[in-house]
């Protein structure tokens, strides 16, 4: 688990997918079982009964407790065993590890590290998600057979859009535009502007632009597992680069990454946009994003296969790699600073 930050909030599931049914998940190489209490809260436990290590997700939910499917030992929401069939004495060591959880932006977040540090006010939040002037649409939980830091590389990298996403999010006008970057407190910001150029396909289709546009991409990466991409367009010459965005099309593509193991990650994505909710338009935009993110998935999985096959091969670095390299140093620094719970 060398590159996992543990003292942080990770997304583990869409809220819509956690119910009064036991749900097994894997995160930072740990197996977890999730369920909703009768009051609606989310409980997360290690997915192993301490008796014979059967996954508790193979058991039954009895009220707000899990009954193991092997011998019926039953554990309450705190992980404490409250029943051992056939005996009155409950072994004091019959305790299952539990993890703090919180819900926000349609997701269940989990804290895998020191529980005393799990400050729920630190769960990521995007103000526009709650703003009635904006609208949002949940996407998918896209499994990618690649390390989560490779996905983070991709989400710190505006340059790849010009080559990978020509049918949706990019075009050739941005190929030679330099990428800027700046490291901030716990965050990497990468950005570029493309001035007086044709709109990208998705904005050409839905933005009603009559000619060229001024287009921006701001990639906000919050270590270790969140990327918010602010991208949009306005008619050329209307002042968008100077901050006047009254008449523009703007979207936040939100990526909340779950590190499953060293070669698997899950991208929980959604989009937040500065125009009213419309189920037909939401579905159309989500379909466009699915095309784009499937393209990323194909690239990242192919890289992962070659990284495994060519494990000793040194790769070259070019200018656009500056932000991803600093991003990885940020994560390494977070890992090094962590103190295990006692």
**Inter-CA distances, 50 with 90, 215, 229, 340, Å:** 12, 56, 43, 22
Average pLDDT, the chain: 93
Q: What is the pLDDT of residue 222?
A: 96
The pairing of strands 74-75 and 81-83 is: antiparallel
- Which range, of 2-11, 13-22, 118-127, 249-258, averages the lowest pLDDT? 2-11
Closest to 190 (Cα-Cα) out of 203, 177, 199, 181:
181
Question: 9-120 has which fold?
Answer: Rieske Iron-sulfur Protein (2.102.10)
What DSSP state is assigned to residue 314? P
Task: Report the alpha-carbon distance of residue 263 to residue 283 in Å, rounded.
Answer: 30
Q: Which tokens belong to 145?
A: 């057979």
Residue 100 contacts residue 89 (beta carbons within 8 Å)? no
Residues 47-91 have pLDDT tens digits of: 999 999 999 999 999 999 999 999 999 999 999 999 999 999 999
Domain 126-337 coded CATH 3.90.380.10: yes
User: What's the rounded mean pLDDT across residues 101-121?
Assistant: 97
pLDDT above 90 covers a percentage of the chain that reads: 79
Residue 22 contacts residue 66 (beta carbons within 8 Å)? yes
In the chain, domain spans:
9-120, 126-337
The structure tokens 């939980």 sit at: 141
What DSSP state is assigned to residue 313? P
Closest to 275 (Cα-Cα) out of 232, 312, 227:
232
Q: What is the pLDDT of residue 69?
A: 96
Q: Which tokens belong to 35?
A: 């369920």
Q: Does the global pTM surpass 0.85?
A: yes
How many of the other CB atoms lie within 10 Å of CB of 46? 19
Per DSSP, the residues of 50-109 read TTT---GGGSEEETTEEE-TTT--EE-TTSBEEEBTTBSPPPTT-B--EE-EEEETTEEE
Whether the per-residue pLDDT at 272 is higher than 70: the answer is: yes
Q: What is the pLDDT of residue 211?
A: 94
- Which range, of 117-121, 217-221, 325-329, averages the lowest pLDDT? 325-329
Closest to 138 (Cα-Cα) out of 163, 90, 104, 168:
104
Q: What is the pLDDT of residue 171?
A: 75
Closest to 171 (Cα-Cα) out of 208, 205, 210:
205
Strand order, beta sheet including 107-111: 9-14, 107-111, 101-104
């Amino acid at each position: 688990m060398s590159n996992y930050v543990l003292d942080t909030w990770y997304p583990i599931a869409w809220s819509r997918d956690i119910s009064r049914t036991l749900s097994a998940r894997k995160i930072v190489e740990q197996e977890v079982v999730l369920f909703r209490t009768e009051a609606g809260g989310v409980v997360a436990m290690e997915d192993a009964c301490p008796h014979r290590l059967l996954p508790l997700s193979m058991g039954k939910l009895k009220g707000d407790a899990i009954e193991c499917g092997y011998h019926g030992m039953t554990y309450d929401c705190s992980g404490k065993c409250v029943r051992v069939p056939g005996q009155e004495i409950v072994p004091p060591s019959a305790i299952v590890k539990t993890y703090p959880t919180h819900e926000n932006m349609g997701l269940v977040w989990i804290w895998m590290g020191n529980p005393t540090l799990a400050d729920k006010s630190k769960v990521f939040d995007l103000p526009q998600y709650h703003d009635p002037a904006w609208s949002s649409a949940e996407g998918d939980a896209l499994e990618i057979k690649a390390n989560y830091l490779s996905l983070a590389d991709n989400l710190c990298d505006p340059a790849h859009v010009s080559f990978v996403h020509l049918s949706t999010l990019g075009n050739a006008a941005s190929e030679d535009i330099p990428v800027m970057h700046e490291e901030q407190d716990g965050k990497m910001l990468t950005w570029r502007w493309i001035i007086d150029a044709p709109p990208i396909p998705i904005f050409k289709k839905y933005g009603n632009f009559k000619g060229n546009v001024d287009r921006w991409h701001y990639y906000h990466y919050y270590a270790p597992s969140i990327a918010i991409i602010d991208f949009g367009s306005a008619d050329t010459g209307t002042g968008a680069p100077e901050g006047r965005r009254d008449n523009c099309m703007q979207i936040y593509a939100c990526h909340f990454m779950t590190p499953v193991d060293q070669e698997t990650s899950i991208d929980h994505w959604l989009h937040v946009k500065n125009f009213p909710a419309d189920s037909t338009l939401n579905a159309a935009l989500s379909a466009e994003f699915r095309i784009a993110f499937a393209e990323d998935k194909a690239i990242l999985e192919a890289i992962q296969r070659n990284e495994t096959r060519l494990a000793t091969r040194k790769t070259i670095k070019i200018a656009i790699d500056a932000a991803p390299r600093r991003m990885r140093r940020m994560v390494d620094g977070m890992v090094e600073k962590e103190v295990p719970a006692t």
